[in-house]
Amino acid sequence: MMTVSEVSRLTGVSIRTLQYYDKIGLLHPNGHTEAGYRLYDDTALAALQQILLFREMEFPLKDIRQIMTQLGFDREKALTQQMELLTLKKQRLENLIDLARRMQQTGGKPMDFTAFDTTKLEEYARQAKQAWGTTPEYQEFEGKSAKRTPQESNTINAQLMAIVAAFGTLQTRPAQDPAVQAQVKTLKDFITRHYYTCNKQILAQLGQMYAAGGEFTKNINAAGGPGAAEFAARAIEYYCRGEET
């Protein structure tokens, strides 16, 4: 775990910026020291790298937050798009350097202006953004998020985590227990009310993500106790087998 100061020195991102990312729900710390200082682990640093690459693609912070928190976010796909766009930027910079060199050789006489053309970059960035915003769930999520302040979004996200973490207190019961299944329905209804329509397919995918061993699993188990995420996944799987919609 690294303190916010250590992360700032390592990444070049200012402490104030990291604090702002936390405030708007873009990058939360994984914990705090006894003195209240933010702490970040390798998972958070990987997310920060992803954020900085999106910033290189000139995505607004609001779009980045929505992209990285949406259901089905594909990090590999994002990295592929980011590399392609950065390659285009590299080619444009090389063209500008070549143009400057030729202008120097010719005494600065007018030559051509193709090196200043950003059409290809802008078109690729537009297509990349569209790739993340075409699903009905994303559009619904975006519409609901636009009506909330960052503080309201943080509160709702914390409430969602509390609902999932509560599965940790139910682990002594079987997944099919009525109380456990009622908690799954509470989760499903909360997501539909505050994020997007949570149908059987989406709920099943969420359950798989909770137990996949990544950041979701770690955060849920940190809040609900060891095994909370995996138990939630089993409960959701049982619920979805009996759900028709």
What DSSP line would sit under 44-66, residue for residue? HHHHHHHHHHHHHTT--HHHHHH
So what's the pLDDT on residue 139? 73
Query: What is the pTM assigned to this prediction?
Result: 0.50
For residue 161, give both structure tokens: 């985590």
Q: Given CATH 1.10.3720.10, say whether it is the number of domain 2-58.
A: no
- Tell me the CA distances in angstroms from 221 to 22, 27, 43, 149, 168, one per residue in order: 20, 19, 15, 28, 8
Mean pLDDT by 10 residues, the chain (245 residues): 91 91 87 87 88 80 76 67 72 74 66 54 56 64 78 82 91 94 95 87 83 76 89 94 62
Element (H, E) at 87: helix 75-105
- Tell me the CA distances in angstroms from 112 to 101, 118, 157, 237, one per residue in order: 13, 14, 52, 62
So what's the pLDDT on residue 127? 56
Q: Given CATH 3.40.50.1220, say whether it is the number of domain 137-242.
A: no
So what's the pLDDT on residue 5? 92
At residue 41, the 3 state secondary structure works out as coil
Integer Cα distance of 29 and 21 in angstroms: 10
- Tell me the CA distances in angstroms from 64 to 132, 152, 180, 181, one per residue in order: 10, 18, 34, 34
Each domain of the chain, given as residue ranges in start order, spans: 2-58, 75-132, 137-242
N residues, the chain: 245
So what's the pLDDT on residue 183? 95
So what's the pLDDT on residue 63? 77
What DSSP line would sit under 129-196, residue for residue? HHHHS-SHHHHHHHHHHHTS-HHHHHHHHHHHHHHHHGGGGGTTS-TTSHHHHHHHHHHHHHHHHHTS
Integer Cα distance of 185 and 76 in angstroms: 32
Element (H, E) at 38: strand 38-40
